[in-house]
Amino acid sequence: MYPGMHAAANPGKPALIMAGSGERLTYRELDDRSLRLANLLRAAGLAKGDVVALLTDNSVHAYEVYWAAVRSGMYVCAVNNHLQADEIAYIVNDSGASALVVSAALGELAENVAGLVPEVRVRMAYGGSVPGYEDYEKALAAASDEVPAVQPRGADLLYSSGTTGRPKGIKPNLPDRQVDEPGDTLVELLRGVYGFDENSVYLSPAPVYHAAPLRYCASVHALGGTVVMMERFDAEGALRAIERYGITHSQWVPTMFVRMLKLDPEVRRRYDLSTHRVAVHAAAPCPVDVKRQMIDWWGPVLIEYYASTEGIGMTMIDSARWLEKPGSVGVAVLGEVRICDDDGRLLPPGEVGGIYFQRDEITFEYLGDREKTRSVKHAEHENWATMGDLGYLDEDGFLFLTDRKAFMIISGGVNIYPQEVENVLALHPAILDVAVFGVPDDEMGESVKAVVQPAPGAEPGPELEREILAYARERVAHYKAPRSVDFLDELPRTPTGKLVKGKLKARYARP
């Protein structure tokens, strides 16, 4: 299913509304503009399996690009707009993108990327002009509006960092069907589990380049509902949007809950949330006390899921069952959960081990990294795969998480991989050794901490801390950079040189 089906039946219905400005994109406009862009891409020589990269802020145009690729059998690669230019260029080049569409709101960043992606054949900017890019509106106006006889279904190709710190493209197999044919697993989950349909009004407060916002908004379009996208998250603004637009469904990360709970009680009571039936949340563990307060405030409308960009599997739990089993992330709704020890043997209920999902088939690969693709699969079962997390099942089959993969930091629902930051800081002349990890943060869940062993002659203290923080922020995206630096005479390492990061994290863990 795709917007063209709904454009024929209800052309003037809003497919997407920007929460702050009220800017609207109807189904007729979404269908026409995505069709013209699809024809433009094909005329430029792109074909099924090619990649269209997207560097954007939260904008109505993002889904014109999304659906242009998906109705052409192409991959759409949405790139994090908080990365540095060379980080973005790495993803664009590594994905093999033939086209790059950017938002003029990111003009300087987009301009810096342009010179780093020589293999990209089609470059366009919307919302204004950007040196090195063709004018998007002029290009669409000149493109054909003829509907092709064949519109193969495409997919997204998103990047998720690995333990080496370099992002890896998660490339699913392209479905063997046309864009107007059913068969999308997520669409059916949204319809069957959450009750999404053509009457749904879905609030998306997160950046559109993340997997969940990108995919959920697209699924709402597939069902003929309306997406309300916030330009950026604002706690009171989110409540205002629920009332103003009659939001029925929404999706959040726990940090957003924390910020809304910190609003003055008078502000929280000011808005009518009566249309709000389902509040989905995921991306990071939600503190039990935070979730209880949200259920007390919003009622039993919260539904939590545990999944990954890779689409290996999925669990889910509603408010009623969570109140019976606080802290659980639910039962499997996609695949079957298996808990295994380090040797791959199945563990009984209550025992902690690696979380695997058993599927009929594992339908993705890490682009250009067969070893990483192989590493997520069970040694004896080709159709079992893991995200690297640890947890246990209770006697009723409910999953509880106990740890996260390889000390990955989750700050505000965003994954941060310490190795990438450590690699950057290791080059600082005043640093002899460094460890980066997450420490508890009341608002963000975790914040990034660096612990440094100073080089001989370097003086530890506030001045060096400021220098290291500035050094990091110049070289990696700001959300990845440490928020604070501590100094030690020596970092704990094994005789073979392996950093014993668990000892460091234990010093900062709360009782």
**Segment 357-415, tens digit of pLDDT:** 998 887 788 898 888 888 888 988 888 999 888 889 999 999 998 766 667 788 888 87
pLDDT band at 290 (very low <50, low <70, confident <90, very high): confident
Distances (CA, A) of 175 to 178, 275, 304, 487: 8, 35, 27, 52
- Position 161 scores a pLDDT of 57
- Position 498 scores a pLDDT of 57
The model carries a pTM of 0.84
Q: How far apart are CA 399 and CA 329, in angstroms?
A: 6
pLDDT band at 165 (very low <50, low <70, confident <90, very high): low
pLDDT band at 121 (very low <50, low <70, confident <90, very high): very high
The answer to whether residue 487 scores a pLDDT higher than 70 is yes
CATH (residue range 407-508)? 3.30.300.30
What confidence tens digit (pLDDT) does each residue in 18-47 have? 999 999 999 999 999 999 999 999 999 999
Residue 242 burial class via C-beta count within 10 angstroms: exposed 0-12, middle 13-18, buried 19 and up: buried
Alpha carbon 269 to chain centroid distance? 31
CATH (residue range 3-227)? 3.40.50.980
- Position 474 scores a pLDDT of 93
Instruction: With H, G, I as helix, E, B as strand and everything else as coil, classify residue 194.
Output: coil
Of the ranges 30-44, 441-455, 481-495, which one carries the lowest mean pLDDT score?
Answer: 481-495
Residues 6 or more apart whose Cβ sits within 8 Å of residue 94: 167, 169, 367, 368
Q: 328-403 belongs to which CATH class?
A: mainly beta
- Position 163 scores a pLDDT of 39
Domain spans in the chain, listed from the N-terminal domain onward: 3-227, 328-403, 407-508
- Position 387 scores a pLDDT of 86
